[in-house]
Amino acid sequence: MSNSTFDADDVTLEQVREYVWEIPQEGDMRAPARVLASEALLEEITEDKTLAQIKNTTHLPGITNYAICMPDGHQGYGFPVGGVGALDAENGCISPGAVGYDINCGVRMMRTNLTYDELQGQEEELVESLFANIPSGLGGGGIVEAGIDDVDEILARGVDWALENGHAVEEDLLHCEDEGMREGADPDKVSQKAKDRGKNQIGSLGSGNHFLEVQRVTDVFDDEVGAAYGLEEDQIVVLIHCGSRGLGHQTCNDYLRKIEQQHQGLLNQLPDKELAAAPAGSQLAADYYAAMNAAINFAWVNRQLIMHRTRQVFERVFGRSWEEMDMHLLYDVAHNIAKKETHTVDGEERELYVHRKGATRAFPAGHPEVPKAYRDVGQPVIIPGSMGAGSYVLRGGENSMDLTFGSTAHGAGRLMSRTQAKNEFWGGDVQQQLEEQDRIYVKAQSGATVAEEAPGVYKDVDEVVRVSDELGIGDKVARTFPVCNIKG
């Protein structure tokens, strides 16, 4: 590899500066594309079709500045996971494939005042109780049984519905992105089939890479911001990673089919049909945006119910109220989302559909959309690692608005497919190794799920976070390490 250029799969990258690589605009590209990565991460990114996909993204109408691939980028459906694309909200388009099937797949972290010493010896009881009380795996089964009227309320109101129904406290809303409710959500734009798929899954992890993990804080890198976030070394926290379940998947699928039927002309202009998009200003663009916002609300309620049930499990295991254990939401942040946001482009304020697929919003200190509790230090960003690696809490960096439309990475990023992982790893061996070597207790619906998510399946989360920190788009605040983990 040269210091200035790199070629892979007929894609040429030119190094703009350290950790910033550009695919120059050519042919029918409407803008350049950029990849944010160290050379080590770039070698891994080039092993699949990520570069071709981020280059294809630049063909979308209204693409602004450049399409961006984050350090954890890997191949996805049309648009790479770890991709950010800002599309003009007046003259551009909105693309379900650039949001993803699992709308508002996201993460939340809950603090406690428990220490690792207090938890040791109770790991197995805790993981068994969490697994028994928090639904996981494919198919139905959730914490609440909901009728269609309830589903419509959830889609319209988000976490406010959970508050009204005793599954949340006021502070939970204040520490959630958008206070747990997207404006402009319309339940009527979500199909009956999607609602039927979701109504029995409210408060469930699902399967795949979704999990609930009890963690201990091993390092605090920034004492001031750590204090603002309520984090200190040896503290126990809980990380929840899941999304909108079958409802979000069906919503994405519904609108992809509608776009194929109604906007074939735009589709024919794109190099990949999986980038199917509805033109800004069209009825279908408005309908998808309203349906997507509703699915976002559904996912926030899903994570909220799981968190509140976790509080109840901790109460039974530790014999104290969750309030006594200070089990409060640090933050909930979405990935797999498109939002109308106002950004400064060439000195002018422009409204853009900012698509973040496997990318996390990372607004800096002072931004009005950062919760008041964190506005002086910046928005919390939660970056989960694999089961055998640490996770990170970052804060939105001061360069994020200029470099990435206020975005950073969302995790470690896959190195191998789920099928390949199952061929390489045996779930039982992975569980045994994690418990014996690292005292990490894992409980899952199947060994195959554990194999799919084995530590060797992912990129080095430490390197992903280092690049984010060096670029100033997401600054390191704290690192956590797994204690116990449940998954589908």
Reported as a single tens digit per residue, the pLDDT across 181-206 is: 999 999 999 999 999 999 999 999 99
For residue 1, is pLDDT > 60? no
- Judge contact between 110 and 329, C-beta under 8 A: yes
Residues making up the binding site for Mn(2+):
102, 210, 241, 335
Other C-beta atoms within 10 Å of 225: how many? 23
pLDDT classification of 9: cutoffs 50, 70, 90: low
Q: Identify the structural domains of the chain with CATH numbers, from first to last.
A: 104-333+370-401+458-487 (3.90.1860.10)
- Closest to 97 measured CA to CA, from 57, 138, 155: 57
Return the active site residues. Answer: 410
Q: Which residue has the tokens 């735009």?
A: 266
Residues making up the binding site:
102, 209-213, 241, 335-336, 384-387, 391, 410-413, 487
Reading the block at residue 365, the tokens are 């200190």
Looking at residue 3, its pLDDT comes to: 54
**pLDDT per position as a tens digit, 441-467:** 988 887 887 887 777 777 789 999 999
Please report, rounded to a whole number, the percentage of residues in the chain having pLDDT higher than 70: 98
Beta pairing partners, 87: 63, 353
pLDDT classification of 387: cutoffs 50, 70, 90: confident
Distance separating alpha carbons of residues 102 and 95, to the nearest angstrom: 14
pTM equals 0.95
Looking at residue 229, its pLDDT comes to: 98
Least confident of 209-213, 266-270, 437-441: 437-441
How does DSSP classify residue 80?
P
Distance of CA 153 to CAs 168, 211, 254, 299, 479, Å?
15, 26, 21, 13, 37
Looking at residue 149, its pLDDT comes to: 93
3-state secondary structure of 378: coil
